[in-house]
Structure 1
Amino acid sequence: MSDETIGYDATHIQVLEWPEAVRRRPGMYIGSMGEHGLHQLVFEVADRLVNEAVSGRVGVTLLADGGVRVTDDGPGLPFAAAADTEGPGLEALLTELSFGSRPGDRRAVTLTRFGLGPAVANALSSRLTAEVRRAEVRWISEYARGVAVTPPTAAGPATGSGTTLTFWPDATLFGTAECSFAVLAGYFRELAFLNRGLDLSLTDERPADGPQTARFRFLGGVRDFVVSLTARAGTPVHTDVIGFEREDPRMAGTMEVALRWCGSPEERIRGFANSAATPCGGTHEAGLREGVAAALDAYARGHGLLTAKAPDLDTERVAEGLTAVVSVKLDHPEFVGATHGELGNAAVRACVGEAVGEHLGAWLEANPEQATAVVGRILGADALG
């Protein structure tokens, strides 16, 4: 069938320019035009600012008029790329979709699946204002539906340094949808657990009876995360939260692991890669399970708690009642599938498994009473009688 027959040729191809490409099909970029999509806008803006101040402060405020303000106390992003900075300037971040995370930097915090950046929030907002406090000068600029309304303009001296982005999601696209304080608070709470020292606050100015604020900062890292999870998992079987951190060049990254057994039969294992949750698991979770099983099996046999003919303790059996968090930060994370829900780096499995086996094995030997309680939880009280 010829082009003439079907009436279609190159003249029918429509090329959409910025920002119409995003505004015409917003669901392709943020998933939905409801609450979930609004949260994605917040994460796209917060992603860059968190990375500017990963050991400092980041504040998110849900404004009474429907806007969202995100601010950090970092060095302040220049509006244009400069020789003394890494990556694009703020103007590019607000008008160019970046697609993808920052490769080769395990310190980078990932808040979004695809790393689109604040440009997508700019395009889908009726208005966005940018303020940069840098080198003792305060700079401001404004955008409307992704297009610059005013160029960067010096607005006087700056107090301190940092970047503030305030945006108002376009009501013609999102209708009456609103951000959920509870959902955002839960997300930022996890992020603070995974990045010790990061100081995150969330304020909601919308309630008629006055604003509410939540602040998250956890110096204990994933150990504190496990403590919070075990609060809903029944009485702990042992007093210690077993945890460690390790860097392993074989996987080009670091790992942070914490675990504890509780009385509840439910398994609670949470995995993260570069601060992003991996709900479908992956090689880091597989390594955790295998390391736990190997350490417990070796201890039980070495102390006569399992006979030579008894089957090995497998990963399913040792995970009953286990609450654990495994967080890896990699220079080059590889994911299975487009949604980044499962980590695929092959080297991570062996590295995490080896490290967990060594650390848990040493803890079991150093804490015989708690070790007996853990093994008893897995084998059953009668097995130790």
Structure 2
Amino acid sequence: MSEVSHGYGSEQIRVLPFDEAVRHRPGMYFGLGPADPRLPTRILVAVLGHALHPAAAVAAPHVPQAHAEVHADLVFVVEDDQVAAGPASGPPAPGYFGSLLGPQRWLAAAAAVLSARTVVQVWRDGVGFRQELTRLRPAHPPQRYTGGTGTGTRLSFTLDPTYFPPGAAIARHIDPQDLHEPACGPLAAHGRPPIRDLRTPPPG
């Protein structure tokens, strides 16, 4: 009598590309599913929180400077003072799918997957590079421009309205403490990174 195997073989295992994995299971990255109207808020909190706690490969030991602006219910910008290492006059090493977002910014990359459009700008000592992404896939190679002094990264996200439930929007109040882990200690040690809401206040 032959044995029947009920196990899984390698032919049954499919490894999803990063962008497909994020869209199928956003909860693995942001803790909420696509049907949850709080997901846009959680994405902003995750990206800004990660900018405040950067990987050592991105930021030398210092108190990171980062802030966010909310321009519309599904549109926000995060800017910080870090940039991944790269040639002195060239862009950082290519990241996901050849984009300017590498593994050191995996949460920003996950946010880009859920965005209809993302604009990435990085600069170091006056030399900047800009790239537009559609769901993390580059629309073009990095384009050089004259950047600001010092180092920095600016990420502009337009979340994909077809992905989120009707009425989903970034919350108008976000507790700064949500940007930090308990191990960070008192919030005062980090300051209060500004989250500016530039939307028109609701009536009443």
**TM-score by structure 1 length?**
0.40
Deviations 1:182-235 (A, max 9, x none): 23445359979435253510111122479xxxxxxxxxxxxxxxxxxxxxxxxx
Structure 1 counterpart SS, 2:139: strand
Give distance in 2, aligned partners of 1:54 and 1:35. Answer: 35
Residues of 1 paired with 2:201 and 2:29: CA distance? 33
Tell me which residue corresponds to 1:202: 195
Three-state SS of the structure 1 residue aligned to 2:22 is helix
Counterpart code for 1:18:
F
CA distance in 1, matches of 2:87, 2:95: 15
Tell me by how many angstroms 1:179 deviates.
Answer: 1.6
Structure 2 match to 1:94: 101
Higher helix share: 1
Q: Where does 1:203-218 land on structure 2 (aligned, <5 Å)?
A: 203-208=196-201
Question: Within 5 A, what are the aligned runs for 1:353-364?
Answer: none
Structure 2 equivalent of residue 377 of structure 1: none
Matches of 2:154 and 2:113 in 1, distance apart? 17
Alignment of 1:105-144 (within 5 A): 116-144=106-134
Equivalent runs, 1:366-377 vs 2, <5 Å: none
Question: Equivalents in 1 of 2:70, 2:62: separation in Å?
Answer: 21
Which residue in 1 is equivalent to 2:170? Answer: 179
Q: CA deviation at 1:27?
A: 2.5
For the 8 Å contact 2:119–2:157, the answer to whether it is kept is yes
How many angstroms apart in 2 are the aligned matches of 1:56 and 1:95? 19
The change in CA–CA distance for 1:90 and 1:135 in structure 2 (over 3 A counts) is farther
Change (3 A) 1:169 1:157: closer
> Superposition pairs for residues 205-354 of structure 1, below 5 Å?
205-208=198-201
1:151 matches 2:141:
yes
Contact 1:59 1:70 in 2 (8 A): yes
Aligned to 1:63: 71
| 2:48 aligned to which of 46, 49, 57 | 46
Contact 1:62 1:205 in 2 (8 A): yes
Residue 137 of structure 1, CA deviation: 1.5
Aligned-partner residue type, residue 50 of structure 1? L
Cα distance in 2 for residues equivalent to 1:89 and 1:184: 34
User: 1:127 touches 1:167 (CA, 8 Å); kept in 2?
Assistant: yes
8 Å CA contact 2:115–2:134 kept in 1: the answer is yes
SS at match of 2:41: helix
Q: Write out per-residue CA displacement over residues 333-369 of structure 1, whole angstroms, 9 at most, x where no aligned residue.
A: xxxxxxxxxxxxxxxxxxxxxxxxxxxxxxxxxxxxx
Going from structure 1 to structure 2, the CA distance change for 1:148 and 1:184 (only over 3 Å counts) comes to: farther
Of all paired residues, the percent bearing the same amino acid is 27
Equivalent residue letter for 1:29:
Y
Tell me the equivalent position of 1:166. 156
In structure 2, the CA distance between the partners of 1:37 and 1:64, relative to structure 1 (3 Å rule), is closer
Letter of the structure 1 residue corresponding to residue 95 of structure 2: E
Count of matched residue positions in the alignment of Structure 1 and Structure 2: 183
State the secondary structure of the residue aligned to 2:95.
Answer: helix
- Aligned residues of 1:128 and 1:165 also touching (Cα < 8 A): yes
With the length of structure 2 as denominator, give the TM-score of the two structures. 0.70
Runs of 4+ in 1 over 4 A off after TM superposition: 8-12, 188-193
Amino acid at match of 2:47: V
Q: 1:199 to 1:26 in 2, by over 3 A?
A: closer
SS at match of 2:141: strand
Distance 1:11 1:146, change over 3 A: same
Alpha-carbon spacing, 1:25–1:189, altered in 2? closer, same or farther (3 Å): closer
Distance in 2 of aligned mates of 1:198 and 1:19: 34
- Point out where structure 1 has 5 or more consecutive residues left out of the alignment: 99-114, 211-385
Deviation at 1:139, TM superposition (A): 1.4
Shift of the alpha carbon at 1:31? 2.2
Instruction: Check 1:37–1:95 CA distance in 2 against 1; reply closer, same or farther (3 A cut).
Output: farther
1:67 CA displacement? 0.8
